[in-house]
Protein backbone atom coordinates (compact mmCIF):
# COMPACT_ATOMS: atom_id res chain seq x y z
CA UNK A 1 0.00 0.00 0.00
CA UNK A 2 1.35 3.45 -0.92
CA UNK A 3 1.97 5.84 2.00
CA UNK A 4 0.49 9.31 2.07
CA UNK A 5 3.95 10.81 1.97
CA UNK A 6 4.97 8.76 -1.12
CA UNK A 7 1.76 9.68 -2.86
CA UNK A 8 2.17 13.42 -2.20
CA UNK A 9 5.83 13.43 -3.13
CA UNK A 10 5.06 11.65 -6.42
CA UNK A 11 2.47 14.26 -7.32
CA UNK A 12 4.71 17.14 -6.26
CA UNK A 13 7.59 15.67 -8.28
CA UNK A 14 5.35 15.60 -11.36
CA UNK A 15 4.93 19.33 -11.09
CA UNK A 16 8.19 20.56 -9.55
CA UNK A 17 10.58 21.97 -12.11
CA UNK A 18 7.81 22.50 -14.65
CA UNK A 19 6.44 25.92 -15.56
CA UNK A 20 3.20 24.94 -13.77
CA UNK A 21 4.80 25.06 -10.30
CA UNK A 22 2.77 27.62 -8.34
CA UNK A 23 4.34 30.03 -5.85
CA UNK A 24 2.88 32.48 -3.39
CA UNK A 25 4.75 35.47 -2.10
CA UNK A 26 3.83 37.36 1.06
CA UNK A 27 3.49 41.08 0.32
CA UNK A 28 3.64 43.97 2.72
CA UNK A 29 0.50 45.51 1.22
CA UNK A 30 -1.16 46.30 -2.09
CA UNK A 31 -3.89 48.48 -3.56
CA UNK A 32 -5.31 49.19 -6.99
CA UNK A 33 -2.12 51.06 -7.96
CA UNK A 34 0.86 49.80 -5.98
CA UNK A 35 2.16 46.63 -4.44
CA UNK A 36 4.84 46.62 -1.71
CA UNK A 37 6.89 43.49 -1.09
CA UNK A 38 8.28 42.60 2.34
CA UNK A 39 11.77 43.76 1.29
CA UNK A 40 10.38 47.30 0.90
CA UNK A 41 10.25 47.26 -2.90
CA UNK A 42 7.43 49.23 -4.57
CA UNK A 43 5.81 47.97 -7.79
CA UNK A 44 3.17 49.42 -10.06
CA UNK A 45 0.39 46.88 -9.65
CA UNK A 46 -1.26 45.71 -12.87
CA UNK A 47 -2.67 42.48 -11.44
CA UNK A 48 -5.27 43.70 -8.97
CA UNK A 49 -9.04 43.24 -9.23
CA UNK A 50 -9.56 46.25 -6.95
CA UNK A 51 -10.92 48.02 -10.05
CA UNK A 52 -12.27 51.12 -8.28
CA UNK A 53 -9.66 51.28 -5.52
CA UNK A 54 -12.31 50.80 -2.82
CA UNK A 55 -10.12 48.47 -0.72
CA UNK A 56 -8.41 51.61 0.59
CA UNK A 57 -11.42 53.95 0.65
CA UNK A 58 -11.42 55.85 3.98
CA UNK A 59 -15.20 55.63 4.41
CA UNK A 60 -15.25 51.88 3.74
CA UNK A 61 -12.42 51.40 6.25
CA UNK A 62 -14.24 53.59 8.79
CA UNK A 63 -17.43 51.55 8.27
CA UNK A 64 -15.54 48.32 9.00
CA UNK A 65 -14.04 49.87 12.16
CA UNK A 66 -17.42 51.13 13.32
CA UNK A 67 -18.94 47.69 12.57
CA UNK A 68 -16.21 46.00 14.62
CA UNK A 69 -16.89 48.37 17.54
CA UNK A 70 -20.59 47.55 17.38
CA UNK A 71 -20.56 43.82 16.62
CA UNK A 72 -17.03 42.56 17.39
CA UNK A 73 -14.89 40.89 14.76
CA UNK A 74 -16.67 37.60 14.09
CA UNK A 75 -20.19 36.36 13.48
CA UNK A 76 -19.94 33.43 15.91
CA UNK A 77 -21.70 30.89 13.73
CA UNK A 78 -23.59 30.11 10.57
CA UNK A 79 -26.48 32.34 9.61
CA UNK A 80 -28.83 29.61 10.81
CA UNK A 81 -27.39 29.78 14.33
CA UNK A 82 -26.01 33.14 15.52
CA UNK A 83 -24.38 34.51 12.37
CA UNK A 84 -27.22 36.47 10.81
CA UNK A 85 -27.25 39.99 12.28
CA UNK A 86 -29.09 43.20 11.47
CA UNK A 87 -25.97 44.20 9.47
CA UNK A 88 -26.28 41.11 7.23
CA UNK A 89 -30.02 41.67 6.85
CA UNK A 90 -29.58 45.35 5.94
CA UNK A 91 -26.91 44.54 3.34
CA UNK A 92 -29.09 41.86 1.74
CA UNK A 93 -31.99 44.29 1.47
CA UNK A 94 -29.76 47.02 0.07
CA UNK A 95 -28.36 44.68 -2.60
CA UNK A 96 -31.78 43.32 -3.59
CA UNK A 97 -33.25 46.81 -3.93
CA UNK A 98 -30.25 48.11 -5.93
CA UNK A 99 -30.19 45.17 -8.35
CA UNK A 100 -33.96 44.80 -8.74
CA UNK A 101 -34.45 41.36 -7.15
CA UNK A 102 -36.80 40.23 -4.39
CA UNK A 103 -33.97 38.67 -2.39
CA UNK A 104 -30.21 38.61 -1.88
CA UNK A 105 -28.36 35.98 0.17
CA UNK A 106 -24.80 36.52 1.41
CA UNK A 107 -22.06 33.92 1.01
CA UNK A 108 -18.49 34.08 2.30
CA UNK A 109 -16.95 34.02 -1.18
CA UNK A 110 -17.84 33.80 -4.85
CA UNK A 111 -16.42 30.29 -4.89
CA UNK A 112 -18.72 29.29 -2.07
CA UNK A 113 -21.76 30.97 -3.67
CA UNK A 114 -21.25 29.12 -6.96
CA UNK A 115 -20.79 25.81 -5.17
CA UNK A 116 -23.70 26.46 -2.82
CA UNK A 117 -26.12 27.35 -5.60
CA UNK A 118 -25.27 24.62 -8.09
CA UNK A 119 -25.04 21.85 -5.49
CA UNK A 120 -28.43 22.80 -4.04
CA UNK A 121 -30.26 23.22 -7.35
CA UNK A 122 -29.17 20.31 -9.50
CA UNK A 123 -30.69 16.83 -9.46
CA UNK A 124 -29.76 13.63 -11.27
CA UNK A 125 -31.89 14.01 -14.38
CA UNK A 126 -31.01 17.72 -14.82
CA UNK A 127 -28.32 19.26 -17.00
CA UNK A 128 -26.01 22.24 -16.86
CA UNK A 129 -24.99 23.90 -20.11
CA UNK A 130 -22.05 26.17 -19.33
CA UNK A 131 -19.82 28.43 -21.39
CA UNK A 132 -16.62 26.41 -21.71
CA UNK A 133 -14.52 29.27 -20.29
CA UNK A 134 -16.59 29.64 -17.13
CA UNK A 135 -14.66 30.14 -13.89
CA UNK A 136 -13.25 27.10 -12.06
CA UNK A 137 -15.73 27.59 -9.19
CA UNK A 138 -18.66 27.13 -11.61
CA UNK A 139 -17.12 24.26 -13.54
CA UNK A 140 -16.06 22.40 -10.44
CA UNK A 141 -19.51 22.75 -8.91
CA UNK A 142 -21.07 21.49 -12.14
CA UNK A 143 -18.69 18.51 -12.33
CA UNK A 144 -19.45 17.51 -8.75
CA UNK A 145 -23.20 17.85 -9.14
CA UNK A 146 -25.34 14.86 -10.08
CA UNK A 147 -26.51 16.65 -13.25
CA UNK A 148 -25.02 16.21 -16.72
CA UNK A 149 -22.51 18.88 -17.71
CA UNK A 150 -22.36 20.14 -21.29
CA UNK A 151 -20.08 22.99 -22.40
CA UNK A 152 -21.00 25.38 -25.19
CA UNK A 153 -18.39 27.19 -27.28
CA UNK A 154 -17.23 30.40 -25.67
CA UNK A 155 -19.71 33.26 -26.13
CA UNK A 156 -21.34 31.32 -28.96
CA UNK A 157 -25.17 31.37 -28.87
CA UNK A 158 -25.39 29.00 -31.86
CA UNK A 159 -23.46 26.37 -29.95
CA UNK A 160 -25.71 26.96 -26.94
CA UNK A 161 -28.78 26.56 -29.14
CA UNK A 162 -27.50 23.22 -30.44
CA UNK A 163 -27.12 21.92 -26.89
CA UNK A 164 -30.52 23.27 -25.86
CA UNK A 165 -32.06 21.50 -28.87
CA UNK A 166 -31.16 18.09 -27.40
CA UNK A 167 -33.72 16.54 -25.11
CA UNK A 168 -33.33 16.36 -21.35
CA UNK A 169 -35.62 14.58 -18.89
CA UNK A 170 -35.07 17.14 -16.13
CA UNK A 171 -34.44 20.87 -15.76
CA UNK A 172 -31.73 22.87 -17.55
CA UNK A 173 -29.46 25.51 -16.05
CA UNK A 174 -27.50 27.69 -18.49
CA UNK A 175 -24.36 29.13 -16.90
CA UNK A 176 -22.15 31.98 -18.03
CA UNK A 177 -20.24 35.03 -16.80
CA UNK A 178 -20.91 38.72 -17.42
CA UNK A 179 -17.23 39.55 -18.01
CA UNK A 180 -14.84 36.62 -18.38
CA UNK A 181 -12.14 36.67 -15.75
CA UNK A 182 -9.15 35.63 -17.86
CA UNK A 183 -10.14 37.13 -21.24
CA UNK A 184 -12.06 40.24 -20.24
CA UNK A 185 -14.65 39.76 -22.97
CA UNK A 186 -18.39 40.08 -22.30
CA UNK A 187 -21.08 37.45 -22.81
CA UNK A 188 -23.89 38.15 -25.32
CA UNK A 189 -26.39 38.02 -22.47
CA UNK A 190 -29.38 39.18 -24.45
CA UNK A 191 -29.21 36.30 -26.97
CA UNK A 192 -28.35 33.78 -24.25
CA UNK A 193 -31.34 34.92 -22.16
CA UNK A 194 -33.74 34.61 -25.10
CA UNK A 195 -32.54 31.08 -25.80
CA UNK A 196 -32.76 30.02 -22.18
CA UNK A 197 -36.24 31.49 -21.84
CA UNK A 198 -37.56 29.96 -25.05
CA UNK A 199 -36.66 26.48 -23.77
CA UNK A 200 -37.88 27.00 -20.19
CA UNK A 201 -34.29 26.85 -18.89
CA UNK A 202 -32.93 28.99 -16.09
CA UNK A 203 -29.97 31.28 -16.56
CA UNK A 204 -27.23 31.80 -13.95
CA UNK A 205 -24.82 34.70 -14.57
CA UNK A 206 -21.68 35.17 -12.49
CA UNK A 207 -20.94 38.88 -12.80
CA UNK A 208 -17.86 38.95 -10.55
CA UNK A 209 -15.99 41.28 -12.94
CA UNK A 210 -18.92 43.37 -14.23
CA UNK A 211 -20.68 44.36 -11.02
CA UNK A 212 -19.81 47.87 -9.90
CA UNK A 213 -18.28 48.68 -13.29
CA UNK A 214 -21.10 48.58 -15.84
CA UNK A 215 -24.68 49.78 -16.01
CA UNK A 216 -26.49 52.58 -14.26
CA UNK A 217 -25.04 53.04 -10.73
CA UNK A 218 -22.71 50.09 -11.41
CA UNK A 219 -25.51 47.50 -11.51
CA UNK A 220 -23.38 45.35 -13.77
CA UNK A 221 -23.40 43.49 -17.06
CA UNK A 222 -26.99 42.21 -16.82
CA UNK A 223 -28.38 45.67 -16.22
CA UNK A 224 -26.28 47.03 -19.09
CA UNK A 225 -27.65 44.39 -21.48
CA UNK A 226 -31.16 44.70 -20.07
CA UNK A 227 -31.52 41.11 -18.89
CA UNK A 228 -32.51 39.62 -15.56
CA UNK A 229 -31.22 36.08 -15.04
CA UNK A 230 -33.04 33.85 -12.56
CA UNK A 231 -29.76 33.61 -10.60
CA UNK A 232 -27.27 36.47 -10.48
CA UNK A 233 -23.98 36.05 -8.61
CA UNK A 234 -22.13 39.17 -7.53
CA UNK A 235 -18.80 38.97 -5.72
CA UNK A 236 -17.21 41.52 -3.42
CA UNK A 237 -13.52 40.77 -4.01
CA UNK A 238 -13.27 42.91 -7.13
CA UNK A 239 -14.93 46.33 -7.58
CA UNK A 240 -16.20 46.32 -3.96
CA UNK A 241 -12.61 46.03 -2.69
CA UNK A 242 -13.54 43.52 0.05
CA UNK A 243 -14.54 39.85 -0.19
CA UNK A 244 -17.67 37.71 -0.04
CA UNK A 245 -20.53 37.31 -2.50
CA UNK A 246 -24.28 37.45 -2.89
CA UNK A 247 -26.84 35.43 -4.80
CA UNK A 248 -29.76 37.45 -6.20
CA UNK A 249 -32.97 35.59 -6.96
CA UNK A 250 -36.71 35.53 -6.32
CA UNK A 251 -38.43 34.82 -3.00
CA UNK A 252 -39.09 31.12 -3.59
CA UNK A 253 -35.56 30.38 -4.80
CA UNK A 254 -34.05 32.23 -1.83
CA UNK A 255 -36.17 30.21 0.57
CA UNK A 256 -35.04 27.04 -1.22
CA UNK A 257 -31.38 28.01 -0.67
CA UNK A 258 -32.04 28.81 2.99
CA UNK A 259 -33.39 25.25 3.33
CA UNK A 260 -30.98 23.35 1.06
CA UNK A 261 -27.73 25.24 0.40
CA UNK A 262 -25.15 23.51 2.57
CA UNK A 263 -22.65 26.37 2.20
CA UNK A 264 -25.16 28.66 3.87
CA UNK A 265 -26.15 26.20 6.55
CA UNK A 266 -22.79 24.71 7.56
CA UNK A 267 -20.37 27.63 7.21
CA UNK A 268 -19.70 30.56 9.55
CA UNK A 269 -21.18 33.67 7.99
CA UNK A 270 -19.07 36.72 7.15
CA UNK A 271 -18.26 39.00 10.11
CA UNK A 272 -21.02 41.58 10.66
CA UNK A 273 -18.37 44.33 10.46
CA UNK A 274 -17.62 43.18 6.93
CA UNK A 275 -21.31 43.46 6.07
CA UNK A 276 -21.26 47.04 7.41
CA UNK A 277 -18.21 47.81 5.26
CA UNK A 278 -19.90 46.19 2.24
CA UNK A 279 -22.95 48.43 2.76
CA UNK A 280 -20.66 51.45 2.58
CA UNK A 281 -18.85 50.02 -0.47
CA UNK A 282 -22.25 49.56 -2.15
CA UNK A 283 -23.06 53.23 -1.47
CA UNK A 284 -19.70 54.26 -2.93
CA UNK A 285 -20.31 52.11 -6.00
CA UNK A 286 -23.77 53.54 -6.59
CA UNK A 287 -22.35 57.06 -6.41
CA UNK A 288 -19.17 56.06 -8.24
CA UNK A 289 -19.66 57.47 -11.75
CA UNK A 290 -16.44 59.43 -11.46
CA UNK A 291 -14.45 56.33 -10.49
CA UNK A 292 -16.04 54.37 -13.33
CA UNK A 293 -15.18 57.16 -15.76
CA UNK A 294 -11.55 57.19 -14.60
CA UNK A 295 -11.36 53.45 -15.14
CA UNK A 296 -12.89 53.71 -18.63
CA UNK A 297 -10.45 56.52 -19.51
CA UNK A 298 -7.55 54.32 -18.44
CA UNK A 299 -8.83 51.38 -20.49
CA UNK A 300 -9.25 53.55 -23.59
CA UNK A 301 -5.85 55.18 -23.12
CA UNK A 302 -4.13 51.81 -22.74
CA UNK A 303 -5.84 50.32 -25.79
CA UNK A 304 -5.17 53.35 -27.96
CA UNK A 305 -1.49 53.57 -27.02
CA UNK A 306 -0.98 49.79 -27.19
CA UNK A 307 -1.99 49.61 -30.83
CA UNK A 308 1.59 49.84 -32.12
CA UNK A 309 2.96 47.03 -30.00
CA UNK A 310 4.10 43.87 -31.70
CA UNK A 311 1.68 41.98 -29.42
CA UNK A 312 -1.88 42.07 -30.54
CA UNK A 313 -4.39 42.91 -27.84
CA UNK A 314 -7.57 40.89 -27.57
CA UNK A 315 -11.00 42.42 -28.25
CA UNK A 316 -11.57 43.00 -24.53
CA UNK A 317 -12.84 46.49 -23.76
CA UNK A 318 -12.91 45.87 -20.01
CA UNK A 319 -10.39 46.39 -17.22
CA UNK A 320 -8.95 42.95 -17.99
CA UNK A 321 -6.49 43.36 -20.88
CA UNK A 322 -4.69 40.06 -21.45
CA UNK A 323 -1.57 39.88 -23.59
CA UNK A 324 -1.55 36.33 -24.92
CA UNK A 325 1.97 34.92 -25.04
CA UNK A 326 1.22 31.23 -25.63
CA UNK A 327 4.37 29.54 -24.37
CA UNK A 328 4.51 29.09 -20.58
CA UNK A 329 8.24 29.63 -20.12
CA UNK A 330 8.25 32.77 -22.26
CA UNK A 331 5.28 34.15 -20.37
CA UNK A 332 7.00 33.58 -17.02
CA UNK A 333 10.20 35.18 -18.34
CA UNK A 334 8.28 38.26 -19.53
CA UNK A 335 6.52 38.58 -16.19
CA UNK A 336 9.96 38.43 -14.49
CA UNK A 337 11.31 41.09 -16.87
CA UNK A 338 8.40 43.33 -15.92
CA UNK A 339 9.16 42.72 -12.26
CA UNK A 340 12.74 43.86 -12.77
CA UNK A 341 11.23 47.11 -14.04
CA UNK A 342 9.06 47.39 -10.92
CA UNK A 343 5.88 46.31 -12.66
CA UNK A 344 3.71 43.62 -11.09
CA UNK A 345 2.05 41.69 -13.93
CA UNK A 346 1.31 38.06 -13.15
CA UNK A 347 1.71 35.30 -15.70
CA UNK A 348 -1.45 33.19 -15.92
CA UNK A 349 -0.76 29.65 -17.07
CA UNK A 350 -2.69 26.47 -17.92
CA UNK A 351 -4.71 24.85 -16.41
CA UNK A 352 -6.17 28.21 -15.31
CA UNK A 353 -6.31 29.05 -19.04
CA UNK A 354 -6.36 26.65 -21.98
CA UNK A 355 -3.14 25.00 -23.20
CA UNK A 356 -0.83 27.24 -25.26
CA UNK A 357 -2.62 30.40 -24.16
CA UNK A 358 -0.39 31.50 -21.26
CA UNK A 359 -0.85 35.22 -20.80
CA UNK A 360 0.09 38.34 -18.95
CA UNK A 361 -3.24 39.25 -17.38
CA UNK A 362 -3.01 43.03 -17.18
CA UNK A 363 -5.70 44.69 -15.11
CA UNK A 364 -6.33 48.41 -15.07
CA UNK A 365 -7.95 50.29 -12.21
CA UNK A 366 -9.37 53.75 -11.56
CA UNK A 367 -6.30 54.48 -9.40
CA UNK A 368 -3.75 54.18 -12.20
CA UNK A 369 -2.49 57.41 -13.72
CA UNK A 370 -1.66 57.85 -17.39
CA UNK A 371 2.01 58.01 -16.39
CA UNK A 372 1.67 54.56 -14.75
CA UNK A 373 0.20 53.21 -17.98
CA UNK A 374 3.02 54.84 -19.98
CA UNK A 375 5.54 52.94 -17.83
CA UNK A 376 3.68 49.70 -18.54
CA UNK A 377 3.54 50.43 -22.27
CA UNK A 378 7.23 51.24 -22.38
CA UNK A 379 8.01 47.87 -20.77
CA UNK A 380 5.75 46.08 -23.25
CA UNK A 381 7.50 47.89 -26.11
CA UNK A 382 10.79 46.54 -24.75
CA UNK A 383 9.56 43.01 -25.56
CA UNK A 384 9.54 43.88 -29.26
CA UNK A 385 13.23 44.50 -29.39
Ligand X SMILES: Cc1ncc(COP(=O)(O)O)c(C=O)c1O
Can you say which residues are annotated as belonging to the binding site? 22, 110-111, 135, 181, 209, 235, 352
The residue (of 114 and 274) whose beta carbon lies closer to ligand X is 114
CB of 268: closest distance to ligand X in angstroms? Answer: 15
Candidate residues 137, 155, 298, 363; the one interacting with ligand X per rule CB under 6 A: 137
Q: Please confirm, yes or no, whether 88 is among the known catalytic residues.
A: no
Identified binder of ligand X from the candidate list 63, 117, 129, 208, rule CB under 6 A: 208
Known catalytic residue: 226? no
Q: Give 2's contacts (C-beta < 8 A, 6+ positions apart).
A: none
Taking only Cα atoms into account, the Rg of the chain, rounded to an integer number of angstroms, comes to 21
Residues of span 152-181 touching ligand X by CB under 6 A = 177, 181
Nearest to ligand X of 50, 206 (CB atom): 206
Interface region with ligand X, contact rule CB under 6 A, candidates 5-13, 61-69, 107-115, 328-336: 107-115
Catalytic residue among 50, 92, 131, 177: 177
Residue 278 beta carbon to ligand X: minimum distance, rounded to whole angstroms = 12
218 secondary structure, DSSP code: G
CA distance 306 to 191: 31
Comparing every residue's Cβ against ligand X, the nearest one is: 110
Alpha-helical segments (H) within the chain: 4-15, 58-71, 86-99, 110-121, 136-144, 157-165, 189-198, 221-224, 251-260, 262-265, 272-286, 289-305, 328-340, 370-384
What letters, b where the CB count within 10 A reaches 16 and e where it falls short, cover 99-136?
bebebbbbbbbbbbbbbbbbbbbbeeebbbbbbebbbe
Is 111 an interacting residue with respect to ligand X (CB under 6 A)? Answer: yes
Closest CA to 298 of 343, 239, 364, 381: 364
43, 201, 286 from 98: Cα distances, Å: 36, 25, 8
57 given a catalytic annotation? no
Q: Is 289 a catalytic residue?
A: no
DSSP state of 313: P
* Residue with Cβ nearer ligand X (45 or 114): 114
Q: Which stretch binds ligand X (CB under 6 A): 106-114, 149-157, 162-170, 265-273?
A: 106-114
Q: Would you call 6 a catalytic residue per the annotation? A: no
C-alpha distance from residue 111 to each of 154, 234, 243, 332 (Å): 21, 11, 11, 27
Kindly state the smallest distance separating residue 139's Cβ from ligand X, in Å: 10
Whether the Cβ atoms of residue 378 and residue 371 lie closer than 8 Å to each other: no
Question: Is 201 one of the annotated active-site residues of the chain?
Answer: no
| Cα Dmax for the chain | 63
Residues 218-237, mask of contacts with ligand X (x by CB under 6 A): -----------------x-x
Q: Which residues are annotated as a binding site for pyridoxal 5'-phosphate?
A: 110-111, 181, 209, 235
Active site residue 238: yes
Alpha-carbon distance 74 to 72, whole Å?
Answer: 6
CA atoms of 232 and 223, how far apart (whole Å): 11
Residue with smaller CB distance to ligand X, 270 or 380: 270
Q: Which residue, 157 or 237, is less far from ligand X as judged by CB?
A: 237
- Shortest Å distance, C-beta 12 to ligand X: 25
Judged by CB, which is closer to ligand X: 49, or 253?
49
Given 57, 88, 135, 163, the catalytic residue = 135
Using CB under 6 A as the binding rule, the residues of this chain from 235 to 294 that contact ligand X are 235, 237, 243, 245
Q: Which residues contact 296 (CB under 8 A, 6 or more apart)?
A: none
Q: Which residues pair with 322 in a beta bridge?
A: 361
Binding site for ligand X (CB under 6 A): 109-111, 114, 135, 137, 177, 181, 206, 208, 235, 237, 243, 245
Catalytic center residues: 49, 135, 177, 181, 206, 209, 238
Amino acid sequence: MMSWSDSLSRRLAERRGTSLWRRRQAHQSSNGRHLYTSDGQQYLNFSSNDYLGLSQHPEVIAAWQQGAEQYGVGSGGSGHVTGYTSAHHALEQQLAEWLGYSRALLFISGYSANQGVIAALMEKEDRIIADRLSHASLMEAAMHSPAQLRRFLHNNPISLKQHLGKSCAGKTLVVTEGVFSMDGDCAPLSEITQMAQSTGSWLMVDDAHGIGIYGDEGRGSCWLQNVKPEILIVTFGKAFGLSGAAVLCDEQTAEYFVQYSRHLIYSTSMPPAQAVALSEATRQIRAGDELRQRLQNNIQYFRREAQNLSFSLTDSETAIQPVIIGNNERCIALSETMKQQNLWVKAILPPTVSPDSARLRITLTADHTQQDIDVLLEALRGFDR
